[in-house]
A = this chain, B = another copy of it.
């Protein structure tokens, strides 16, 4: 460690994102990107943007994007906060609402402990049940964060259970990370008017095929949105560039196209899930655009190395409980057929 680092920078353990290889002849199923492109209307919004406008600063609050999110999600603009991907929104939410003793599941998005450490927030890990579901009754803390559906397990919590978690933590903010919500689970958005401690965080990366554009947002009552704005304006006043605001707005309003894309992904997921089970794989019940998969008796490390050799990128964590699982993004039907074929040959 070098002598110039702050105590914080020297002690944190940064998050490791999935690889973004520059080879193009691979099958990339490692970062849960949408296999289908953004909608024609979204692409048209890109094309019609006048790049000469870039000489001016963007709207600091997200401008048209914020309006479009409010419209699409049926809330007022005062209930919406926009950020540079849901990672930034989550980071700011940690800083805005948590002082310590927060709780999240032991198997979940591996960025949560990193943000907690970055902002000096102590945390407790709640073990998932044996079947990798979240024991909702026990999810309590001075602040709670969980993903629904959870990642990388792919399993969704019922809305009743989500509401239970919000209720039993009244007085502390409950962040529901809905990064994968459009692929089958029920959103908690309908609960926002009822609970002053509920903050929902979403991303356009997966559902709207805009991973490369970096757009995330939060929904919650205005006092929570104001808390996020306080942190944003103490960190970076303009996190979303003018192109992202324009393109994201068009995507949010083109609901039909993205609903159809999600349907296709779900159909592929169910088909492949069935085939993998027939091959003897364990496949957790997915409400996401990925599958969490293991082969009884086989090593996850060996299986990943085999797929790497086949030019198929998937993700694996060398972590307790899940070291023998692979997280496989749902790609196109063609990509997934090749995957199944290769796994057949692995036997």
Contacts and interface: CB of A to CB of B under 8 A. Distances in A.
B17 A237 contact: yes
A104 to B, nearest CB: 16
A211 interface: yes
B6 A209 contact: no
A183 interface: no
Is the interface on chain A under 10, 10 to 19, 20 to 34, or 35 or more residues? 35 or more
A236 B236 CA distance: 13
Tallying the copies of this chain within the complex gives 2
Interface in A12-43: 12-18, 20, 28, 31, 33-38, 42-43
A51 interface: yes
B236 A205 contact: no
A278 interface: no
Nearest to A209: B55
A53 B22 CA distance: 13
A44 to B, nearest CB: 9
A36 B234 CA distance: 29
A241 B241 contact: yes
Given A209-B55, A237-B87, A226 B2 contact: yes
Contact of A210 (B2, B54, B59): B54
B37 A52 contact: yes
Interface stretch (A95-103, A266-274, A301-309): A95-103
Interface in A203-250: 205, 209-214, 223-224, 226-227, 229-244, 247
Interface stretch (A67-75, A113-121, A311-319): A113-121
Given A31-B57, A227-B2, A236 B51 contact: no
Interface string A40-64: 0011001100011111111110000
Nearest to A90: B236
Contact of A85 (B8, B46, B238): B238
Contacts of A214: 58, 238-241
A46 B91 CA distance: 30
The 5 closest A-B pairs by CB, nearest first: A14-B233, A212-B242, A54-B212, A46-B51, A37-B52
Given A42-B51, A243-B243, 12 more contacts: A4-B196, A5-B96, A5-B230, A9-B96, A14-B229, A36-B55, A54-B210, A54-B211, A55-B211, A87-B236, A95-B118, A115-B234
